[in-house]
Chains A and B, each alone.
Chain A
Amino acid sequence: MRARQRGAGLLGSVYLLFLPGVVTAAAAEAVPLSWVAPTTIAQSSAVSHPAPPSSSQTTITAATPTHGASHTTSTHTPQAVSERPPWAEQAVRRPAELSMWQGSLSAEQLKLLTQYGEQLFTARFTTADGVGRPMATQAIIPTRRKRPSKTSFFRTAGLDANACSSCHHQPVIGGAGDFAANVFVSEGFNHADFDSLDPQFSNERNTNHLFGAGLIELLAREMSADLQAIRAATLRAARAQQQPITAALITKGVRFGDITAHSDGVLDLTQIEGVDSDLIIRPFSQKGVMTSLRQFSINALNHHHGMQASERFGARWTGEADFDEDEIADELSAADISALVAWQATLRPPQRKQPEHKGWQQAALRGERLFSRSGCAVCHQPALPLNSLKFADPGRWDMAGTLRTQEVSAVTHYDLALLEWSETLPRNAQGAVMVPLFGDLKRHKIADSEVSAFSNELLSQRFVARDVFMTAELWGIASTAPYGHRGDMTTLDEVIQAHGGAGRAARDAYLKLDEAARLDVVAFLKTLVLE
């Protein structure tokens, strides 16, 4: 049997979500289903008349054999849920007719999308869904193994989790993980099957929480746009004035060093700080090396679950619909990834808790002042201004292998202002949302010769040196112990003391405080909760 692909099967019929316990067919009825066909593609005439869900079975067609499918094992595409009995082994409860909207989503549409995203985030994926990558490594560039891996699940090299929420669940789904949920990050090119905790093979990382991730990505997008605008303006000025021009890369009050443009369009980037040479802010991961939730999700799904997104691992970039040779073709569609992104992007941001305990309230107030006075807030900036809450998917800064804006006929937008939690966000005088992240979305060297705890890895990651990390956003920190990129520090005091390098001065200032004052700082940090 040849690989059956979802492609043409998406055409036509009514969009119904069958999400047990979340959305039922009855729930779907609550939404006006006045779908119209896309007008931008030739085949759209085939879908101009809504058809009953069952028709989707007949529109799934056999795929053209993939050129270059040298491995001819039979494969099949996961079925839509409508084709399956309720007791089926698949964990992905894909709507019978999965697709998505163009343009701005209504609150109801966004809700449906995020509900499916949550279902994906919590699904314990199975081999029937496509779990496993017997002939592919965890690498972010589709990379084939020379021979099948001996183990499917393996705590170090992966597969190392059943669901996204297996690790991201403290204190709630989407949250962080404790030391037991650490992962082992390796590029996945050499020693893809490392069976050792030896740091020469991987970097051990604690699980971050995802709350407020949509706001983080929006901030990063605006900052990337700012930096690139500065670059363009500097180059223009140097060309116009026929002399070298140096400009500071400052966005939202964060300085990323300087650039010098020459009159011939040559740019000296040697003085940039904390950002990659393409001036794209990559806000995700402890290292600060992932551009978007979309990119990160595709990476993580392959790494941790062996669930491969077609937009990176599909025929376009690998020549094969079943690159990992687990006999499931096209495991995750672009729409699946969009649903996952939507759920993460709409997660409410962490909150400032007002403690009931009066003494704690006062200590927190003092601690907040000390936090600022000690210099912690230089990097852990209490808030960064965000101009727009409109989240576009796909985003502007992704590169090939993660769906890009120009690869779709129309981008989907959802306004995070549609969400109730958005009303709680403070705004500045200019009307910008002040995102209370306690971070700067910048990478810093965080170790020195005397205070070197954070220099405990051997491998650089994605060109970023071993002792350089993105400023950890502190929102939610009270609910996401343990601390540090390896999750091996159990108290806030320990992790503060571990700051060397760019954090050294603040750390020293903190240590100069008396014990009560240091506890005040902790009292303040303990108000930054996930609830």
Chain B
Amino acid sequence: MSLGHFGGWLLLCSLSLGVQAAADIPKLAPATGSAGINHQYDGPWEYFVGGGIATFDCNHDRKPDVFLAGGKHPAQLFINRSETGAALRFQPQSLNLSARDLTKVLGAYPLDMDNDGRLDLVLLRVGRNILLRGEKDCQFTKVNKAWQFDGGKAWTTAFSATFEAESMFPTLAFGNYVDRSAPGSPWGTCADNALLRPLTSGAAADSAVPVSRALPNYSEPMALTPGHCALSMLFTDWNKTGEAALRISNDRHYYRGGEEQLWHVPPGRPPRRYTRYEGWERVMIWGMGIAEGDLNGDGYPEYVLTSMGDTRIQILDDEAEEDRPVYRDIALERGATAHRPYTGDDLRPSTGWHAEFADFNNDARLDLYIAKGNVESMPDFTAFDPDNLLLGQFDQRFKEAGLAAGIALDRRGRGAAVADFNSDGLLDLIVVNRAAPVSVFRNRGALTDWGVRPMGNWLQLEVRQPGHNHFALGATIAIKTGNLTQIRKIQVGGGHASGHMGFVHIGLGVAERAQVRIQWPDGSWSAPYRLFANQFALIEKGSDRVRYWYPEAAD
């Protein structure tokens, strides 16, 4: 008989439970060297902005692959070879595209534009934008001509897409920065933005042509005037009417008389700006990134706007009505202004770029990631500008955990992707940095005194509908655990030049099951799906059965 050790795990977990009053801090372990992504975003002045990343599954293995903008360097695609629950690994994939088309890329967004069930790519460039049709085996074909997409010659820095009512193809919005050819450029010479509605002529309108064979036609762009040097844009259903409006975040550094914008985009009618008379108040910031998240589960999205200095979080004000978008800023009361570095001695204001709400610690509270980094060497702004990981607390405030989590690097962050790359239920992070290697972080679980431990329960959902808009852009997912309802939207746009399409991740905290309902893009609600936690569930419109996906088990 041997007596065991005194103390042991219960002592230890009591300690952890007692001392740690706040939510779990995820350990985001650096994996840049080992992940196999050797890539930099760089270039002259035009590439001080941009630096996007698109994450999406191009080889139908349900693991997110990675497309990275390179600026003066060619953009690159990396195939996700990570094993389940193991180290992040990626493999470069050569593309049958001209080097010319792959350079001058600032950002990229994945979406299925031709309804073939494969994700296509929109490349934002300095000069002509490019549409790439997704093909087999992670290859792409340039389809500017086939889809009658001119691509323009602007300096494109923002993008969003939506399926307008009855439309078979997505409507695309491109945000452009400074018009470099205008007199006096760059000051006060913001370029117009563009709205591209698919034409409903020819094959597209012919119901005899199967959806999969019809082609989009983007031959008639519409100017969104005035442009105010957009750096991020997002189609969003701010008032729950089912009709997306277009929010545009603009850089006050270059505009004169500009402001943040919200556009009505009524189907079949010309877009127009929301005005002061409608309650839209003038907000002037160095707008660099937008993300939406429903912090209070009321179905009305809150928005984070990154800038130089204070980050904004906007919530509908009490004075708001269905047609009156009156917002107030709650970043201060939520502890999320993130206006200067949280570590180091440099107290100058920081510069925010990509923003994303996500649940990094699976506690059923949204966290906020913000990529930070000096534009280049602006003297009034901090040079050391670590990215933020603002963890949503149980009192609705946010608490900075970037340093403890391990992401406080001396890098000029730009775009980013938050996704579960190794299918372990934990959100990982890839950050595109200007003039420095891409940063890759693997989420290892909650930090403790003695290592890491698992965090809360989670669910990941793949949502599809038959016919066009296969990926259900515009769908709302309501996830109910107990009295808590969390909302997720399926959107394309926002962030900073970066988009993600894949499993929708939801942290469930201590709930071991959830009831999920989906409001499909046509406005109809699904019956409730009853799901157990820690699984990947596949939901298809019209079917009350859920299928499940299991990542390949690591042997």
Contacts and interface: CB of A to CB of B under 8 A. Distances in A.
A525 B499 CA distance: 65
Interface stretch (B5-13, B129-137, B155-163, B217-225): B5-13
Nearest to A259: B548
Interface string B6-31: 11111111111111111110000000
Interface stretch (B167-175, B283-291, B454-462): B454-462
B11 A38 contact: yes
A101 B547 contact: no
Contacts of A41: 11-12, 15, 449-450
Contact of B509 (A99, A141, A270): A141
A404 B16 CA distance: 14
Interface in B1-56: 1-24
Contacts of B15: 7-8, 10, 41, 43
Given A41-B450, A99-B11, A319-B21, A239 B6 contact: no
B6 A406 contact: no
B9 to A, nearest CB: 3
Given A63-B18, A231-B550, A141 B510 contact: yes
B535 interface: yes
A330 B12 contact: no
Contacts of A142: 510
B549 A311 contact: no
Contact of B454 (A43, A334, A404): A404
A462 B513 contact: yes
Contacts of B6: 15, 35-38, 99, 101
B12 A40 contact: yes
Given A6-B14, A68-B394, A333-B10, A401 B450 contact: no
Interface stretch (B110-118, B408-416, B468-476, B526-534): B526-534
B454 A406 contact: yes
A268 B509 contact: no
Interface string A407-451: 111111000000000000000000000000000000000000000
Interface stretch (A19-27, A104-112, A170-178, A377-385): A104-112
B484 to A, nearest CB: 8
Nearest to A312: B510
B4 A104 contact: yes
A330 B513 contact: no
A317 B4 contact: no
B483 interface: yes
A248 interface: no
Nearest to B455: A400
B545 interface: yes
A239 B552 contact: yes
B550 A316 contact: no
Given A38-B6, A47-B7, A310 B17 contact: yes
Q: Please tell me the size bucket of the interface on B.
A: 35 or more
Interface string A54-76: 00000000011111111000000
A102 interface: yes
Contacts of B548: 266-267, 269, 277
Q: Please tell me the size bucket of the interface on A.
A: 35 or more
A103 interface: yes
A237 interface: no
B18 A266 contact: no
Contact of B9 (A100, A106, A462): A100
Given A99-B6, A143-B482, A334 B531 contact: no
B536 to A, nearest CB: 9
B395 A68 contact: yes
Contacts of B362: 400
B76 to A, nearest CB: 26
B399 interface: yes
B397 interface: yes
B8 A100 contact: yes
A204 B243 CA distance: 47
Contacts of B153: none
B10 A100 contact: yes
A236 B552 CA distance: 8
A88 interface: no
Contacts of B551: 265
A276 B538 CA distance: 17
A66 B21 contact: yes
Contact of A70 (B395, B453, B530, B545): B395
A51 interface: no
Contact of A7 (B2, B19, B453): B19
B60 interface: yes
Given A38-B6, A239-B552, A270-B545, A141 B454 contact: no
B530 A463 contact: yes
Given A67-B393, A399-B457, A316 B8 contact: no
Given A66-B21, A68-B397, A141-B511, A268 B547 contact: yes
B8 A101 contact: yes
Contacts of A101: 3-6, 8
A314 interface: yes
Nearest to B507: A400
Interface string B265-296: 00000000000000000000000000000000
A321 B363 contact: no
A370 to B, nearest CB: 39
A400 B482 contact: no
B208 interface: no
Given A38-B6, A67-B395, A399-B534, 14 more contacts: A7-B19, A35-B7, A66-B22, A70-B395, A236-B553, A266-B548, A276-B532, A277-B531, A310-B14, A310-B17, A312-B510, A320-B394, A333-B14, A400-B510
29 contacts: A8-B18, A10-B11, A35-B7, A36-B6, A37-B5, A38-B11, A40-B12, A41-B449, A44-B7, A100-B8, A102-B4, A102-B5, A106-B2, A141-B511, A190-B483, A269-B546, A278-B533, A315-B20, A316-B16, A318-B394, A330-B18, A333-B17, A334-B13, A400-B454, A401-B509, A406-B454, A407-B453, A408-B12, A412-B8
Interface of A: 5-8, 10-11, 15, 32, 34-44, 47, 63-70, 99-109, 139, 141-143, 187, 189-190, 231-232, 235-236, 239, 264-270, 276-278, 280, 310-312, 314-321, 330, 333-335, 338, 399-401, 403-404, 406-412, 462-463
Interface of B: 1-24, 60-62, 362-363, 393-395, 397, 399, 445, 449-451, 453-457, 481-484, 508-513, 530-535, 538, 545-553
For the complex of A and B, list the 10 residue pairs with the smallest distance between their C-beta atoms, beginning with the closest: A35-B6, A401-B510, A7-B18, A319-B394, A408-B9, A68-B395, A38-B7, A102-B8, A66-B21, A141-B482
